[in-house]
Amino acid sequence: MVQKPIAIIGGGIIGLFSAYYLLEWGEKVVVIDKSSGNEGCSFGNAGMVVPSHFIPLASPGMIEKGLKWMLDSESPFYVKPRISLELLKWGLQFYKNSNQKHVDSSVPLLRDLGLISKLLYHDLAQKLKYSYEEKGLVMYCKKQNTLDEEAHVAELANNIGIEAKVLDKKSIHKLEPEIRPEVAGAVYFPGDAHLNPTELIESLKKYLVDKGVVIKHNSEMINIQTVGDEITSLEIMNDEQKEMLEVGNVVLAAGSWSGILGKMLRLNLPMQAGKGYSVSKSQVPNKEIFIPNILVEARVAITPMSGRFVRFGGTMEIGGLDGTINMNRVRGIIKSVPEFFPDYALDVPKKEEVWYGFRPCSPDGLPYIGHSGAYKNLFINTGHAMMGISLAPASGKLIAQQILGKKTEMDLNGFSAQRFGN
């Protein structure tokens, strides 16, 4: 009998790593992606691999901060007011989860997922050959009260086994000579890493295709056929032609579109797209930025990539799947950089030079990884928000383990795709 493939809906980093581990365990895999294959959230992001980011977005104080930011057109966070039941439900869940109890239960989950991923990236860098460096991450603070908050996170990090150091001005300069002396201080997480996401995806795709995985681009999953509680085929639209693909198992890894597709699949996966922007510029000769860093007040991520250029990324706009580029927010990113790196006073880029991506955000800040509960052969791997690159290898490995009935490397209950009901 011909083996039916495992179909993965979504060819971003989460879909590709799901494919990778299924392939490694001998499965036949088809990845279906509606994009042309070189765009989307997994490409132009900041490439940080950060086990240090173990606190979920839904946490105490976030609502207050968010409301304050809403009043500033250049701020890093914005919710576009609109009449949407989905947004309302999502906001309500976000509010319900923004408490200490939720943080306490999420921290070990995000820490473990992050640490497993980091180890996998370390090993895979040799095999897949993408630019990957383990130089850590610095969180720069302009103001003392921000530094105090970050120092508190550093203390928590050390308590849960993630190394963190609070740096004074002198030690900051040793690490990054080009930083302005006015910064109040910083927290350094030496265990973090970074990579070039485009190189990663290209090498991962090449590896998969060479080993027999079929990756179909410009192919949109538009419907399913079922028998009882099993999905038997996916209806795919490619180049205005319909195709029926018979499937064994199915993995939904469609990023910010997973919530909408979830409805077709009898699932309740609350999801909002959190749009972010990035701009990439060459390193300034003799004034290079060495260590990936985050400007904490501005929420701007700065990553030196592939020894050639620096990427500046930020902003979280909850505004639906709307690809309009808001230049005010891009300006906010650009303006914050020379406050820390005086040689990086960048011109505001043209719209065409700005990259954007939709982060798939669940309302409690945790991804959905596991069985769907809706169809017996449907599995979910999505909702990684600001951490999709960081968490992709572990998430891919875990979903593959679950599909194949292997013991999962960590417990998946906290990531249940059914946690918001059906």
Q: Where do contacts with ligand FAD occur on this chain (CB under 6 A)?
A: 9-15, 32-35, 40-42, 45-48, 220-221, 253-257, 261, 276-278, 301, 313, 357, 359-360, 382, 384-390
Min separation Cβ 18 and ligand FAD, Å: 9
Min separation Cβ 67 and ligand FAD, Å: 22
Closest CA to 53 of 103, 128, 123: 103
Tell me whether residue 157 or residue 184 sits nearer to ligand FAD (CB atom): 157
Tell me whether residue 167 or residue 273 sits nearer to ligand FAD (CB atom): 273
Distances (CA, A) of 96 to 62, 90, 133, 267, 304: 12, 10, 38, 21, 37
C-alpha 275/C-alpha 265 separation (Å) is: 25
Residues β-bridged to residue 78: 317
Tell me whether residue 183 or residue 392 sits nearer to ligand FAD (CB atom): 392
The 3-state DSSP class for residue 412 equals: coil
Min separation Cβ 170 and ligand FAD, Å: 28
Residues β-bridged to residue 187: 139, 166
Tell me whether residue 344 or residue 358 sits nearer to ligand FAD (CB atom): 358
Tell me whether residue 179 or residue 250 sits nearer to ligand FAD (CB atom): 250
C-alpha 343/C-alpha 257 separation (Å) is: 39
Q: Which residues contact 136 (CB under 8 A, 6 or more apart)?
A: 188, 189, 190, 191, 192, 193, 291, 292
Min separation Cβ 102 and ligand FAD, Å: 20
Tell me whether residue 102 or residue 275 sits nearer to ligand FAD (CB atom): 275
Min separation Cβ 83 and ligand FAD, Å: 24
| R_g of the chain, CA atoms, integer Å | 21
C-alpha 49/C-alpha 133 separation (Å) is: 10
Min separation Cβ 285 and ligand FAD, Å: 25
Q: Which residues contact 351 (CB under 8 A, 6 or more apart)?
A: 325, 327
